[in-house]
Every structure is written in structure tokens, then in C-alpha cells.
Amino acid sequence: MPTERIQPLPSSSVTANAPDRVSTDGLEAKWGEYWTEQGTYSFERDAEKTEIFSIDTPPPTVSGSLHVGHVFSYTHTDVLARFQRMNGKSVFYPMGWDDNGLPTERRVQNYYGVRCDPSLPYEPDFEPPHVGGEGKSIKAADQKPISRKNFIELCQRLTAEDEQQFEALWRHLGLSVDWSHTYQTIGQRAQKIAQAAFLRNLARGEAYQAAAPGLWDVTFQTAVAQAELEAREYPGHYHALAFHTPEGEDVVIETTRPELLPACVALIAHPDDERYQHLFNTTVTSPGFGVEVPVLAHPAAEIDKGAGIAMCCTFGDLTDVQWWRELALPMRSVLRKDGRLVNDTPDWIESEDGRTLYAECAGKTAFSARKAIVEKLQETGEMHGDPKPTQRMTNFFEKGDKPLEIVTSRQWYIRNGGREFTRNGSSTDLREELIGRGKDLEFHPDFMRVRYENWVRGLNTDWLVSRQRFFGVALPVWYRISDSGEVNYEDVLVPTEDMLPIDPTVDCPPGFTEEQRNQPGGFAPEVDIMDTWATSSLTPQIAAGWLHDDEMFNKLYPMSIRPQGQDIIRTWLFSTAVRAHLEFGGLPWSHAAISGWILDPDRKKMSKSKGNVVTPMGLLEKHGSDAVRYWAASARLGTDAAFDESQMKIGRRLAIKLLNASKFALTMAGEGDLLLDTASVTEAVDRAMLCRLRGVITQATDAFEKFDHTRALEVTETFFWHFTDDYLELVKERAYNRDGSRPQGAVDSARATLNLVVNAVVRLLAPFLPYSAEEVWSWYREGSVHLAQWPTVAEFSQVEGDEHLLEVASQTLSALRKIKSEAKVSPKTPILAANLEVPTGFADKVETVRDDLEKSAVVTGELTVTETEVESVVTVSSELGEPPVRRK
């Protein structure tokens, strides 16, 4: 059960009990255990009158280890969660694990030395040949082939181990997650939701299948969606190849892909290109293969690129697909899904020389086929000159190592505005609807909205959601097989929602039995799985309890905020908005908080693929969790930040100072009661300090409400250092009152101010430094600071004061300190005389704090103050006494 929210502190009979020596060491273990035992961060779902703040927490990909970039962005979410909780809201802060999909499969292959072969039978009690590999330590040829079921079991085993390590790190960092609310994207609940959402998309015509050319990764043997593309430079060569007109004219094109010459279906030039006007609507024959192809005009041809005329092959790139569709060209595919050329010589190659040349290329990789064709064309003279080196931008799968190919295959899609479609009998502009959703969403920072809109406007295909992989959520459909044994992919069989989740390779469609599987008159299962984003796009529904806990779902959905990285706006944020729009007709959250990237010393984004990441546990142990959190929270949303351990050192210093300053402020009266009422604050400088604190509370609160945690930290930290370096030093002698010479009212005023400032600052810093703040709180309070009321200006509403007095006191104290620092003597050295020049209007204020100044600076003689036209306090003359004798 959650801890009861702490009531306002009583104004009397409260004492502090701080340890003799304070340290940040060991606080993570001490308070982490306490929070778990007390259920400090438990979601209060039954608090009817409490406003709920719900977080669609990013489920980290479970594929090895977290890196410091995760610590960076997840800290941003946590400080917000802690602020909202201290503001009296019931915070729903779950954690998910994104454990299905390609990253997990790759890790399992390398870790256990296996690969999946669905044709193999299941082996009960299978143990992998290797345990503990990383990266590409085990070559594909050396990986043991195992059944799909065995492979999935290994995926589940390894992700369970990784999840335990991830949770341990998150707990050490101090994320205030409710660990009773977790999910896996491969878990039963997530599978049911993903399959149900897909079936509803299918029923409404939003999901469909099509056999069409699409991007394909030859390494992973799977289709790839537009959102998963990454453009990279790739080395290649331009080859000048001569096509021939019937009249014997050479038409020279330049291509980086001569291996696709047997798939050529046309030559294309711009309709305004004067060089090729005489060739339009005529034919030419291809070099080497002698295949006749038309010369056509299309505005997408680039006049100033190469020769200005290009060959269209099925398919070399996305422009080829465009030309093929718009010009109604024939299909002549020669590339297999494994990246090799088909074995059988195509029918359209009729010449003996062409068929002989193709036979030399059959079954070869694109690289080897290219070499064979180039050598032949050099021999025949149909290639002009030598290949010219070039760097070209090429599409890669974001997790792949080889350029993507375009292969025709049957795939499943979900409509996302990439193409027009009809809903309820009328044309629907889904793209504009989704742009409208983006306008309704509050982006933090706001300029991130443009990235969303640009992505939606640039879509040219619907969302390809099927994958030819193994560890993922099954597409929940079967296909009817005709009596003649042909699979009819147009006759789709679906389960009822009460059957979900299902695996069509194991379960049967309604009205069929297992004996009818893959038999004439029976059914064939869909063996593809869903893209990992097809599940991750439903994290608000999964976390909030859709189709599982209606009462909770109605309370939590739509959720308050989606925190995430800027690089997955086009994937995770957009796809989640699509699913919510299609299913519920609205946004899945009100706000989106977008974090920047962590950059390495070379200002490059940290990523596992680049090998420049830093793992966080060592940093947490070296500097302390509060220090690392401070570094992370010092960066604003949407802003890239450099990895900087010096910032962590500053954070550690801040945490230690919070402990030390709080110990002094809370215990300077010995075992006496703390003074936590503003009525005891009577001295002008003390009232000024509380007025400044009131302003800091206003600024920090306003910043948090605008999702600017960095501003909240800045104003609080600046105030805290002023408090400890100036104000505390100024009044500590009055607070101690060792000689008993001060009036009790003045003493109590200083002590009350110190107590009140610490009582507020420890709460202001609690979201950022949760361990140190909890430690201080425990010295004088019951329960957790993280369930305490966030400071309010109402706590200091009765206090009026002149904040300028603090500036005067600070400048004057600084001038007196400077006398000793320049003389290189002890701060305890007495000042026998000093003459200060102060700006006009300062003198009266200096007199107001003279007693505190003289005691703090150890002024034992005459202190003269004269107003002149200076900008700050200046020492004109001074005389020092003998430094105190240091005792051994």
C-alpha cells in the first residue's frame, strides 16, 4: 500500500537527528530498499478525488545493456514524475520492456551461437552450444541451426536475464517507477492487444495485404518499412554502358548497378531534354543481353545527372518503382531475397550471347554478378572507359550493414496517410487528419512539432507491419486452401477476440481442425510476425490496461505524457498517434516531451552501432546517482548534450553540500526544537531571504509546469549556493550565539530562517537529488520527502522584506573576505579597521546587517562605510590583526 501523504509540519516539538558524519555513499542501497518496502511510488488507482498524471514510459530495447543516453532521457521523465507526485497527483509511472524483434534475435544469435531454421523439429531440453558471446563474435556459418520454438525459448531466456539487469540499474538511478506495473512487448497481454488492434484495423479496412515491390534487407531476410530507413554514403562506381538503336547509334547511360542490366525494362529521360527527343517512343537493345526496351520520357529523370538518361530496372531503387508504376512497365525481377541473382535464365533474354552471359551470373551475389557483366562488356566494347569511383547515398535498414534491395513480396500494411483510401464509402484524407492530431498535441519543446509534420507530409507508402522474422507477435490470420491445394491469400480467416492471443502456426481458425492444416480444403497459417513498432505503437493501451482492466483504462487513457527521443518521432510517436486515431479517434496523450541526444567528445551521437557508448553503472558507482542525475537534468528537453563527467562532479558537490548545509541549519541549536514558523522571523535580512525563497518557489514551479526541468534546477541551485556561501555564513554566528550576547528574538530569527530554507530547498531539490534529499528529510521528518507537499508561496505569504538587502550584504561580506584572501591570511584573522566605499543607497542597508557582517568577517575594530559613485563595494583601507594561533 502507498505511504500516506505527509501532512503539513507542526510548528513545534520537532527536532533533528543528523549523523555525526554525512556522506552520499551508500544512500542508493539505504533508500532504495526503504522505497520498495514502503511502496513509496505505488500508483494510487483508488484515490477517486486525486488527479492522475500518467506516463507512457518508453520501453527500452532489451538487447544487452543500457547506455548513458538512456540515463539521460529517463532522468528527464523521472524529475517530472517526482514533481507531479509532490503536487498531490497520483502518478502512474510504469515500465515496459521492448523485448521482441530483430535486436533481440541478433543478440541471441551471437550470445548462444545459434540461428533459427523453421524447418527443423523442436528439441525438448535443448541447451545452446555457447553462452556469453557478444557483437559478431560467432560467425553466421558457425551458428547452430535450431527450430523456431527452440529459438524463441532462448530469446525469452536471455531477455528475462537482461530485464533483471535493466531493472537493477533503473532502481540504482532512482527512477520512481511503480514496479508493480510492468509489461513486456512479447507478453501475453501485449500480444492480445496487438492482435486485437490489428484485427480491428483489418475489419475497418485500415489493414490490408498486397504483393508489391518493397525494401528488403538481404542479411536479415525481412521487409523494411519507410520509418526504418537510414540514408548512408556507400562507395560505388559509375559504369558507362552503351545501349544500341536499330540504326546502330549508341545511347550511353551511367549506372552504379550494372548487375541489374538483365532486369532493365526501359531507358528514361526528361521530356524536355533535347538530346533524347528523337529517341522517345523508340526502342534500343541492352548491351550484353540484347533485350529490346523502350525509351520513354518522365519528369523525374534528372537532366543534369550523368548522361541525363537512365535505365529503369525492376528494381534498383525507389525511382525505378515510381517509373514502373506510372509508365506501366513490365516486371523483370532477377534478384532473389538473399541478394543473389535467380538461377534460371529469364525468358525475356532470348539471344544466345545474352543467355550465356546470364548463365555466368546465375546464383551469384550482386557483387560477383556485377564483376562478370563488367568484364564481358569491357571485352565487347559496350562499356566506355573504366569505372569511375563515387560515393552515393543509399538506403539501409537502420540496424543493417548492407544496402537495401527492392524485392516483390506479399506483405501486410496499416494505412497511415501514405496512400489515399476510402472509409465508409467516402475518400479519406488520413494524412491531413494525422497532421491535425499533431497540431493538437503539446510538444515540449514546441519546435519538435515540425519534425512530426514533415514526416507525415513526406510519406509515400503505408506502414509495412509484417516481418519475416521469428521472435515477435504473430499476425493473427490464416488463409483458406482451395480443394486443388492452392493457398488463397484473398480468403483470410481470422480468430475471435476471445481466442487471443493466438499463434496461427500452432492454433486453428474457427471451424477447422489440426488435421486440415496445410491440406487441400483446409487452411494455411500466416508465418510472418508483426513489426516491433506494431506492438510498441500500442504502449499506452498496454500499460493502461486496455482489454484487460476497463476501470483502470478509463482512468488512465488518454495518458498525460509521452517522453521519448527525437530520433523516433517518425516511428514510435507517429505510429502510436496512428493507432490511437484509428481506434479511438483521438490522441493517446496530451503532451510529448522530446529529449535530445548524448554526444561523444567528437560531437557525434552516442549509439551502440557506432561503438561510442558509455555504460552507466560505473558512472553511478563512481560519482553517485544524484550526481549523474544532476548532469542529465542540466540539459533541456530537445537539446543535445555532451557527455561530461565534470558536470557529474558538480552534481556530487551539490549533493554533499545539501547534506552538510542542512545538517548545520537543522542542528545548530543542539537538541532544541526546530523553528519552522515564519512568525519567528523578525530580522530584516532573514525576512529578505525568505522573500527570495518565495520567488524561487514561484519560478521553479512555473518552470516545471512548462516542462522545463532544467530551469527549475537552475533557479533552485543558484539560490542554494547563495544561501550556503553568503547568507549562512552571514548569520551563523548569530544562530550559534556562543557568547549569549544576542537577543533571543534575533537568534530565533536566524535559526527559523535556516530551518525554513532547508525545509523548502530539500523539497525543491528532491526531484533531482532524490537520495540526498531523502537523507536530509529523514533527520527531522517521518515518511518520504517524495510524498511531501511541493513548496508553495503560501508557506511564506506573511513575510515581507527587501531582497536588495541580500545583495548589499553579499557584496559587503565579499569585500571583507577579499581583504584576507589578498593578504593570504586565515579567514579567522581579525580585521582591526576597514574603510569601505559603497554605492549610493547602500549605507543604510549595511547598517541594518552591520552586526552580522562584523561577527561573520571577524571585524574587531572600526568599520567605516562611505557612500560614493562606485558600482560595487570597494575596500579603501584596512588593517589586520594577528592570525589566531592554530591548536594542534
What's 395's domain CATH number? 3.90.740.10
Three-state secondary structure call for residue 730: helix
Three-state secondary structure call for residue 187: coil
Q: Which residue, of 570, 602, 623, is where some domain finishes?
A: 623
CA-CA-CA-CA dihedral for 511, 515, 517, 520, to nearest 10: -90
Identify the CATH number of the domain in which residue 885 sits.
3.30.2320
Which amino acid is it at 536? S
pLDDT score at 612: 66
Contact (Cβ atoms closer than 8 angstroms) between residue 564 and residue 579: no
CA atoms within a 13 Å half-sphere pointing along the CA-CB vector of 27: 26
Residues forming a β-bridge with 467: 529
811 is written with which cell numbers? 557584496
Residues forming a β-bridge with 530: 466
Q: Which residue, of 532, 547, 568, is where some domain finishes?
A: 532
- Residues 522 and 542 occupy one common structural domain: no
The span from the CA of 761 to the CA of 83, in Å, is 13
- Residues 451 and 548 occupy one common structural domain: no
State the residue range of the domain holding 845.
Answer: 818-888
The span from the CA of 244 to the CA of 252, in Å, is 9
Write the burial class of residue 609 (CB in 10 Å: 0-12 exposed, 13-18 middle, 19+ buried). Answer: exposed
pLDDT score at 63: 74
pLDDT score at 134: 63
In what helix (H) or strand (E) does residue 576 lie, and over which residues does it extend? helix 574-584
Residues forming a β-bridge with 412: 209
Quickly tell me which residue has 488463409 as its cell. Answer: 479
Residue 369 lies in a domain: yes
- Residues 523 and 558 occupy one common structural domain: no
Which whole-number Å values give the CA distances from 181 to 92, 100, 379, 763, 786, in the listed order?
9, 19, 69, 26, 19
- Residues 796 and 674 occupy one common structural domain: yes
The span from the CA of 488 to the CA of 486, in Å, is 6
Residue 640 lies in a domain: no
Identify the CATH number of the domain in which residue 166 sits.
3.40.50.620
Residue 435 lies in a domain: no
- Residues 247 and 340 occupy one common structural domain: yes
pLDDT score at 642: 87
- Residues 756 and 618 occupy one common structural domain: no
> If the chain, 888 residues long, is cut into consecutive pieces of 10 residues, what is the mean pLDDT of each piece?
46 77 96 97 84 96 84 96 96 94 84 90 92 69 89 91 93 97 95 98 95 82 76 89 94 94 96 94 95 94 89 91 88 91 94 95 94 95 92 79 86 88 79 96 97 91 89 96 96 97 96 97 95 95 97 97 94 96 97 92 70 82 96 95 92 97 90 88 96 98 98 98 96 91 94 96 98 97 96 94 93 94 93 94 93 94 93 91 73
Contact (Cβ atoms closer than 8 angstroms) between residue 213 and residue 573: no
Which amino acid is it at 639? T
Name every residue whose Cβ is closer than 8 Å to that of residue 842 and which is 6 or more positions away in sequence: 808, 811, 812, 865, 867, 873
The span from the CA of 758 to the CA of 666, in Å, is 8
The span from the CA of 560 to the CA of 468, in Å, is 35
Write the burial class of residue 600 (CB in 10 Å: 0-12 exposed, 13-18 middle, 19+ buried). Answer: middle
Residue 631 lies in a domain: no
The span from the CA of 173 to the CA of 78, in Å, is 10
Q: Which residue, of 532, 557, 585, is where some domain finishes?
A: 532
Beta strands in 398-517 (DSSP E): 405-414, 421-423, 426-428, 442-444, 463-464, 466-467, 478-481, 487-493
pLDDT score at 884: 80
**337 among annotated binding-site residues:** no
Strand 442-444 relative to strand 466-467: parallel, antiparallel, unpaired? unpaired
Contact (Cβ atoms closer than 8 angstroms) between residue 97 and residue 60: yes
- Residues 40 and 112 occupy one common structural domain: yes
Query: Which residue, among 708, 748, 733, 695, has the nearest Cα to 857 in the 3D structure?
Result: 733
Query: Which residue, among 685, 782, 764, has the nearest Cα to 773 in the 3D structure?
Result: 764
pLDDT score at 322: 85
Residue 647 lies in a domain: no
pLDDT score at 13: 65
DSSP single-letter state for residue 490: E
Which whole-number Å values give the CA distances from 646 to 76, 649, 714, in the listed order?
19, 5, 17
Contact (Cβ atoms closer than 8 angstroms) between residue 777 and residue 788: yes
- Residues 286 and 372 occupy one common structural domain: yes
pLDDT score at 418: 78
pLDDT score at 827: 92
835-874: b (≥16 Cβ within 10 Å) or e: ebbbbeebeebbebbeebbbbbbbbeeebebeeeeeeebb
Query: Which residue, among 202, 213, 330, has the nearest Cα to 265 in the 3D structure?
Result: 330
334 is written with which cell numbers? 532477377
- Residues 377 and 261 occupy one common structural domain: yes
Residue 653 lies in a domain: no
The percent of the chain in helix, strand and coil, each rounded to the nearest 5, is 40, 20, 40
pTM for the full model?
0.86
Contact (Cβ atoms closer than 8 angstroms) between residue 416 and residue 434: yes
Domain count, the chain: 5
Residue 823 lies in a domain: yes
- Residues 689 and 770 occupy one common structural domain: yes
In what helix (H) or strand (E) does residue 834 lie, and over which residues does it extend? strand 831-839
Identify the CATH number of the domain in which residue 1 sits.
1.10.730.10
- Residues 375 and 476 occupy one common structural domain: no
End-to-end Cα distance, the chain: 55
- Cβ of 358: how many Cβ atoms within 10 Å? 23
- Residues 599 and 505 occupy one common structural domain: no
CA angle 879, 882, 883 (to 5 degrees): 115
Name every residue whose Cβ is closer than 8 Å to that of residue 126 and which is 6 or more positions away in sequence: 146, 150, 153
Contact (Cβ atoms closer than 8 angstroms) between residue 780 and residue 15: yes
Residue 634 lies in a domain: no
